[in-house]
Amino acid sequence: MSQPVQDLELVSVTKRYGKTVAVDAINHHFRPSSYTCLLGPSGCGKSSTLRMIAGHESVSEGAINLAGRDISHLPPAKRGTAMMFQSYALFPHLSVIDNVAFSLKMKGVDTRERRAKAAEMLELVDLTAMAERLPDQLSGGQQQRVALARALITRPQVLLLDEPLSALDPFLRIRMRGELRKLQRELGISFVHVTHGQDEALALADEVVVMNNAVIEQAGPARDVFNAPRTRFVAQFMGGHNVVALPEGHFAIRTDAVGVGAPGNGVEANVTGIEYQGTHVSVLARIAGDQELTALVPENEFYSNPHTPGDRVGLIWDAKNLHKLTA
């Protein structure tokens, strides 16, 4: 089911609810055929942004362009987008195949044709064997795939997903995210996926768009955003970084770029906590100015020279790994 490749663009898009500015004049060009994650803390405006793209929420100001035309005033079904909902909202009294075919029924497509199309979608999400079951006869992961098939049957150019994995247990969440990524590659359409989990965004996204307080703080390829956070907020929210205030300004440094040595080396510090994390051990240590830093030390390295809280140590890093923050 290949679709023409289409660009989605937000032009100074604003959403207001009364006096609340939920989304403040954001601009973004979503690369065609890519997997984008909108990432940010609760309340930063992710769902509002997604719902405006979908047409489930009106745009207060600005334009949403898909394939060069402004879709911001079109009804949801006419936009070329489809939304997969956080709560799967499957119809409990309809079989899996009829759930998937539902939007075609609304469009007046006849029974044979819509069942044939729905069967195709069920094959895509590997649920052919479950076609005649009712939703409550499926596992959470299977219900998720029905919801996906139901969104994809409209053949959208852009699939919108709002925290699609949040209801799943951790094991299933990781499996399902692999399936989403694979499906996006197979279909070649754009996925825009809202999440507040930085690990989920890094695992899935070609491009990560980090939102905070109704604006986009930083956008770019996942590795760029992780390795070169521009602001303190992005460094802290993406995790894996220390933010340090040095006489020259504020810097971010990856926790795995900080080493723990004997006192007298590097920067004097006191160990305040140790956390075993499996492949690594997280060493928390306090330096002058009451700043607490984390050094992520490979497990073997740590246990060949272990530390305990209260130890005096030297924190060592290479100045080239310090990354200057702009705010």
Query: What CA–CA distances, in Å, run from 322 to 62, 124, 286?
Result: 38, 46, 18
- 3 state DSSP class of 189: coil
Interface with Mg ion (CB under 5 A), residue from 47, 99, 184, 242: 47
Provide, rounded to whole angstroms, the least separation between the CB of residue 237 and ligand ADP. 12
Nearer to ligand ADP, 17 or 91 (CB): 17
Give me 144's structure tokens: 């998720």
Report what 62 binds from ligand ADP, Mg ion, none; CB cut-off 5-8 Å by kind: none
Residue 306 phi/psi, 5-degree rounding, is -70, 155
In the numeric block, the tokens 């060949």 are attached to 304
Report what 240 binds from Mg ion, ligand ADP, none; CB cut-off 5-8 Å by kind: none
In the sheet with 190-195, reading across from the earlier edge strand, the strands are 81-84, 158-162, 190-195, 35-39, 207-212, 215-221
Report what 253 binds from Mg ion, ligand ADP, none; CB cut-off 5-8 Å by kind: none
Task: Please check whether residue 52 is in contact with residue 71, taking contact to mean a CB–CB distance below 8 angstroms.
Answer: no
Window 2-61: residues binding ligand ADP (CB under 6 A): 17, 20, 22, 40, 42-48
Provide, rounded to whole angstroms, the least separation between the CB of residue 86 and ligand ADP. 10
Report what 17 binds from ligand ADP, Mg ion, none; CB cut-off 5-8 Å by kind: ligand ADP
Nearer to Mg ion, 173 or 254 (CB): 173
| DSSP E strand stretches across the chain | 8-17, 20-30, 35-39, 61-66, 69-70, 81-84, 158-162, 190-195, 207-212, 215-221, 241-246, 249-254, 259-261, 267-276, 280-287, 291-298, 312-316, 323-324
Report what 276 binds from Mg ion, ligand ADP, none; CB cut-off 5-8 Å by kind: none
In the numeric block, the tokens 């060069």 are attached to 68
Report what 229 binds from ligand ADP, Mg ion, none; CB cut-off 5-8 Å by kind: none
How many residues touch ligand ADP (CB under 6 A)?
11
Provide, rounded to whole angstroms, the least separation between the CB of residue 214 and ligand ADP. 7
Nearer to ligand ADP, 46 or 232 (CB): 46
> What stretches of 3-127 show up as alpha helix (H) in DSSP?
46-54, 96-106, 111-124
Indicate whether 304 belongs to the interface with ligand ADP (CB under 6 A): no
Task: Please check whether residue 192 is in contact with residue 8, taking contact to mean a CB–CB distance below 8 angstroms.
Answer: yes
In the numeric block, the tokens 């504020």 are attached to 250
Nearer to ligand ADP, 45 or 229 (CB): 45
Nearer to Mg ion, 196 or 230 (CB): 196
Provide, rounded to whole angstroms, the least separation between the CB of residue 59 and ligand ADP. 13
Provide, rounded to whole angstroms, the least separation between the CB of residue 159 and Mg ion. 17
Q: For the residues of 300-320, what is the DSSP string, one character each? A: HHHHHS---TT-EEEEE--GG
Window 160-179: residues binding ligand ADP (CB under 6 A): none
Q: How many other CB atoms sit within 10 Å of the CB of residue 252?
A: 25
Provide, rounded to whole angstroms, the least separation between the CB of residue 43 and Mg ion. 8
What b/e readout covers 204-227, taking b as 16+ CB neighbours within 10 angstroms? bbbbbbbbbebbbbbbeebeebbe
Residue 135 phi/psi, 5-degree rounding, is -50, -40
Provide, rounded to whole angstroms, the least separation between the CB of residue 15 and Mg ion. 12
Nearer to ligand ADP, 100 or 210 (CB): 210
Chain contacts with ligand ADP (rule: CB under 6 A) = 17, 20, 22, 40, 42-48
